[in-house]
Chains A and B, each alone.
Chain A
Amino acid sequence: MNNPLNKKLFYAVLLILALLAPFGLYPVFLMKMLCFALFACAFNLLIGYTGLLSFGHAAFFGGAGYVAGQAIKAWGVPTEIGLILGTLTGALIGLVMGLLAIRRQGIYFTMITLALAQMLFFVALQAPFTGGEDGLQGIPRGKLLGFIDLSSDMTLYYVVLAIAIGGFALIVRTIHSPFGQVLKAIKENEPRAISLGYDVDRYKLLAFVLSAALTGLAGSTKALVLGFETLTDVHWSMSGLVVLMTLVGGLGTIIGPIVGAVIIIMLENKLGDIGNWLASVTHIEWFNTLGDSVTIVTGFIFIVCVLAFRRGIVGEILNLFGKRSASTSH
């Protein structure tokens, strides 16, 4: 895919598929997929291109969702302002978390992001406007820019698609920019980057905030699509889920996270059916309950991916064609 013409063709096919998809599939489901795809891409910017494993991305995703939802519902701001506020919330939480977390390296960085996100979880649990265990319900979709009525799923789908593509384009642009090259240098060899005179912490922080902001955009869009926001989105398992999506698709590949997000969301949705099918084939009763045991299956995929499949789907494909993506580390 390194051939520029092939690449353009590939993206064009992908775009056409995305434009036609809602005619064949349930639009809300597709929109959810798009939000998670953007979420995973934003996450990948950090792990795949800067080498920072954040286990706190749920804080940006859910935090932004709550603020966007509250702004649109209770303060009555226009939809687009709500989304912008959500994105800014993601960026702001990212700035605070980033400032603290980049003071430590490696595994400590990960533990700090996880702990700070857990703190936000407790805030969301106790704060008056989040609705605690019930969540923030009944977020109206409103009108985009005052004249595009979003109450139709079809209209909203194309808006969400535009948002996702915009976010994706920004990420791709960032990766290929001089800034992205510095991030890659930090990932490959941090002491070297420091010795070359780069202010590594500043680059890391900027990447962190950018990733958090885009995650916030994905989170607020998801809240808008589904019309509610719950504690699930700020829980640590959500941070784990986005790691899994990126890992399944391929760390440090551009479209890997999209593939991973699509697969994991489909799997979550269809697991009950798959279980019933397995039960009918193998006659093992237990498979009928598979739909209630999503965490067992996600845990299993995690283990398999880490042990045997570290490049992820897209990484393996690229490897198969002998064009290893430069940033797949192992």
Chain B
Amino acid sequence: MELFGIPLQALLSQLLLGLVNGSFYAMLSLGLAVIFGLLNVINFAHGTLYMLGAFAAWIGLTYFNINYWAMLILAPLIVGAFGIVIEKTMLRWLYKLDHLYGLLLTFGITLMVEGVFRSIYGVSGQPYSVPDALQGATNLGFMVLPNYRAWVVLASVVVCFSTWFVIEKTRLGAYLRAGTENPKLVEAFGINVPLMVTLTYGFGVALAAFAGVLAAPVIQVSPLMGSNLIIVVFAVVVIGGMGSILGSIVTGLGLGVIEGLTRVFYPELSATVVFIIMAIVLMIRPAGLFGKEK
């Protein structure tokens, strides 16, 4: 079967790969948006923390023989704790300053962590095999669906929508939203805002690490995997705007799909298509698709 002169199987598998990438964009931009909302910090280190998640999975399996499923829980906890340390010891001192210092600090953290991992593991990737339960592929009749990729999309969609649900529909989320609007007033009502800020950062970081573990079997685990991704995620955030949780999820997935399709129809542009879309969006709708300027 063919569509626009492209075999359907090739088209669909690129589409799925696009969705997989889109899942990572969605999870990372969601974390960035939540952190920015409460902390007013653009977390440049987000990509690096994603990389740390993937490395945690790899190190867990290689040195301690901890399997994928356990690491899927453990890695976000470990990296999230690391994030909390960063927030408690460093980021905390910058909230009253210009946004740019938060960006520069997390940029420095990125360079350091990446440098440490590069000096230990080099730039080449470490392979991480797909867990046994998800190996192989399912034949759906019109396409062969690799089980692991389907799992990545499913898991990230579930995680993203749970996050959306918690933030928009629960009491905890209401505190968080109120804290984003007016932290002083929320504190006056007896909510421990500094603690909430710390936990929010930890959560955003854990989300990035979770994405990292999911990514480990799809792409090679390498020290550079994070910083390459984070710049694309920044473009995603500019396109979607950071005002809306659902907006982040939809934009992330959508751009992943567009990127996947570009890889089929015009591969030369696949690395730059997200940036081109960003430029177009800036011309037509400067505030972003779902944006409200903060």
What is the predominant secondary structure among interface residues of chain A facing chain B? Answer: helix
CB distance from A227 to the nearest CB of B (A): 26
Give the CA-CA distance A101 to B94 in the complex, in Å: 25
Count residues on chain B whose CB falls below 8 Å from chain A CBs. 46
Which of B104, B118, B234, B286 has a CB less than 8 Å from the CB of A295?
Answer: B118
CB distance from B262 to the nearest CB of A (A): 13
B100 touches A303 (CB 8 A): no
A106 touches B108 (CB 8 A): no
Give the CA-CA distance A111 to B287 in the complex, in Å: 13
A300 touches B278 (CB 8 A): no
Count A-B pairs with CB separation below 8 Å.
126
A107 touches B104 (CB 8 A): no
**Closest partner residue, chain A, to B42 (CB atom):** A107
Say which size band chain A's interface belongs to.
Answer: 35 or more
Stretch at the interface among A14-22, A116-124, A175-183: A116-124
- List chain B residues, Cβ under 8 A from A170: none
A299 touches B275 (CB 8 A): no
B235 close to A (CB within 8 Å)? yes
**Closest partner residue, chain B, to A126 (CB atom):** B268
- List chain A residues, Cβ under 8 A from B107: 240, 243, 302
Which of B101, B104, B227, B237 has a CB less than 8 Å from the CB of A111?
Answer: B237
A298 touches B111 (CB 8 A): yes
A296 close to B (CB within 8 Å)? yes
**Closest partner residue, chain A, to B242 (CB atom):** A108
Which of B97, B108, B109, B227 has a CB less than 8 Å from the CB of A330?
Answer: B97
A209 close to B (CB within 8 Å)? no
Which residues of A (99-155) have their CB < 8 Å from a CB of B?
Answer: 100-101, 103-108, 110-112, 114-116, 118-119, 122-123, 125-126
Which of B112, B114, B293 has a CB less than 8 Å from the CB of A105?
Answer: B293
- List chain B residues, Cβ under 8 A from A299: 108-115
Give the CA-CA distance A307 to B101 in the complex, in Å: 9
- List chain A residues, Cβ under 8 A from B238: 104, 108, 111-112, 115
B178 close to A (CB within 8 Å)? no
**Closest partner residue, chain B, to A123 (CB atom):** B272
What is the predominant secondary structure among interface residues of chain B facing chain A? Answer: helix
Q: Given A107-B99, A112-B278, A295-B112: A303 and B42 within 8 A (CB)?
A: no
Which of B100, B116, B227, B282 has a CB less than 8 Å from the CB of A107?
Answer: B100
A293 touches B99 (CB 8 A): no
Which of A53, A108, A240, A303 has a CB less than 8 Å from the CB of B109?
Answer: A303
CB distance from A309 to the nearest CB of B (A): 12
A292 close to B (CB within 8 Å)? yes
- List chain B residues, Cβ under 8 A from A122: 271-272
**Closest partner residue, chain B, to A304 (CB atom):** B108
CB distance from B257 to the nearest CB of A (A): 19
Taken residue by residue from 257 to 284, chain B's Cβ proximity to chain A (1 for < 8 Å, 0 otherwise) reads as: 0000000000010011011101100110
B104 touches A302 (CB 8 A): yes
B143 close to A (CB within 8 Å)? no
Give the CA-CA distance A5 to B13 in the complex, in Å: 72
Give the CA-CA distance A107 to B294 in the complex, in Å: 10
Which of B93, B101, B119, B283 has a CB less than 8 Å from the CB of A296?
Answer: B119
Give the CA-CA distance A115 to B221 in the complex, in Å: 23
**Closest partner residue, chain A, to B275 (CB atom):** A119
Residues on A close to B: CB < 8 A? 53, 100-101, 103-108, 110-112, 114-116, 118-119, 122-123, 125-126, 236-237, 240, 243, 247, 289, 292-303, 305-307, 310, 329-330
Residues on B close to A: CB < 8 A? 36, 42, 90, 93-94, 97-101, 103-105, 107-116, 118-119, 227, 231-232, 234-235, 237-238, 268, 271-272, 274-276, 278-279, 282-283, 286-287, 293-294
The 4 A-B residue pairs whose C-beta atoms are closest, nearest first, are A302-B108, A299-B111, A299-B112, A296-B115
- Provide a sorted-by-A list of 23 A–B residue pairs whose CB atoms are within 8 angstroms: A53-B103, A104-B282, A104-B286, A106-B294, A107-B103, A111-B42, A115-B238, A119-B272, A119-B276, A122-B271, A237-B111, A240-B111, A289-B119, A293-B115, A293-B116, A295-B114, A299-B111, A299-B115, A300-B112, A305-B104, A307-B93, A330-B97, A330-B98
